Amino acid sequence: MIPQHAPRALPTALLLSSLPARRRWWRWWGDRQFFVGGSFSSSGRRCRFCCGRAARRMGGVSGNDVATALAEKAALAMVVADPASLERKKAAVRDRGTDNLQVIADFDGTLTRYWIDGCRGQTSHGLLKSNPETDAKIQAQYEYYHPLEYSPAIPIDEKTKLMEEWWEKTHSLLIEGGLTFDDIQKSVSSANIGFRDGVVELFEFLEEKDVPVLVFSAGVADVIEEVFRQKLHRSFRNIKVVSNRMAFDNGRLVAFKGKTIHVLNKNEHALDMAAPVHDQLGDSNGSSDNSAFVKKRTNVLLLGDHTGDLGMSDGLNYENRISVGFLNDNVEKSLKTYQEAFDMVLLNDASMYGVLELVSQLCSPDKQ
């Protein structure tokens, strides 16, 4: 499925939109039906490439040409290791209907872009700014604990304790530092963070089909909801953010609610932390979904950018799970691992249009 409001005139830049804007270049050949493009970082040391076939080069192309070009662009950036297995899963999900489907999505690097205008996009964890002293203490915690998070030498139960320790220290520092809701709004406003192309269309489609979306994050729900507010300027009644939630008193952070959600426990066990995004945005058309209702939806489309994100469906006794992995960087090094872990892998900070196409197939009983 391609968004109906896709532009009728297709600039070349649209086909190369996954590349950073800085020092972007492209060349055409084969009667201008094929292109190769790339962009260099400001230092000139880093280069990213893409290539593909365009429906037509510039201006005046038909809507069908645009659809073809966008679909081809999505296909170019997609790898499916076992197409027969994926087709079986798609058929099983389709047969059970949209009433049994839910989407579970990671936030950073999955719904949001990895690269923005040639720079590494910020994460919801990393964008929060309090005051220089608190920010320095939080950075020191990061430098101590982050290597431990990825250390293969630490057993998982010990690592889980370390992650709890890290999150709780960071939360305490934010409280002691006097973070305000105004700080969150300003941090998001100045942050280099943005959603992938096609995310809004995906959410609109799922909302129309009444398919719930759980956004799981080990960050902070209040920050993520502010990113939704500032970057999308609208709410979706079917989306819930499952993340750490702040409590404010007169606009100042005083506590975190409930159990800490960190990188090693963000899964459906944490559903009691969920709160609808629309509640925060004042949307009166609330969803009646609750965690029990979501747990009855036993077909899952899982979106993540890390193999650890596959654990987001832990705690859910699912019948069928289709997993989509965004492999944003180091493709050559990580492709084999991602191919083995995910049913579908989208490469190089791809758009969400490949997922939109997949979802439209899952929600169309007549599609084969």
Q: Which of 37, 58, 61 is nearest to 49 (CA)?
A: 37
What is the SS3 assignment for 211? Answer: coil
* Residue with the shortest CB distance to Mg ion: 109
Helix residue ranges, H only, the chain: 12-15, 63-76, 83-96, 132-149, 156-176, 181-190, 199-208, 221-232, 277-281, 291-295, 331-341, 353-362
Task: Supply the minimum distance, in Å, between the C-beta of residue 326 and Mg ion.
Answer: 8
Q: How far apart are CA 346 and CA 340, in angstroms?
A: 13
Q: Applying CB under 5 A, which residues contact Mg ion?
A: 106, 108-109, 305
The DSSP code for 115 is E
Residue 108: active-site member? yes
The DSSP code for 271 is G
Q: How far apart are CA 281 and CA 28, in angstroms?
A: 46
Between 106 and 225, name the residue whose CB sits nearer to Mg ion: 106
Q: Are 293 and 271 in contact (CB under 8 A)?
A: no
Q: What residue type is assigned to position 5 of the chain?
A: H
Between 126 and 276, name the residue whose CB sits nearer to Mg ion: 126
Task: Supply the minimum distance, in Å, between the C-beta of residue 218 and Mg ion.
Answer: 9
Between 123 and 299, name the residue whose CB sits nearer to Mg ion: 123
Task: Supply the minimum distance, in Å, between the C-beta of residue 158 and Mg ion.
Answer: 23
Burial of 143-165, coded b for 16+ CB within 10 Å and e otherwise, reads eebeeebeeeeeeeeebeebbee
Between 109 and 276, name the residue whose CB sits nearer to Mg ion: 109
Task: Supply the minimum distance, in Å, between the C-beta of residue 110 and Mg ion.
Answer: 5
Q: Which two tokens stand for residue 146?
A: 């982050």
Between 163 and 363, name the residue whose CB sits nearer to Mg ion: 163
Kindly name the residue from 31, 82, 95, 106 that is annotated as catalytic.
106
Q: Are 216 and 243 in contact (CB under 8 A)?
A: yes
Task: Supply the minimum distance, in Å, between the C-beta of residue 301 and Mg ion.
Answer: 16
Kindly name the residue from 108, 183, 222, 349 that is annotated as catalytic.
108
- Which active-site residues does the annotation give? 106, 108
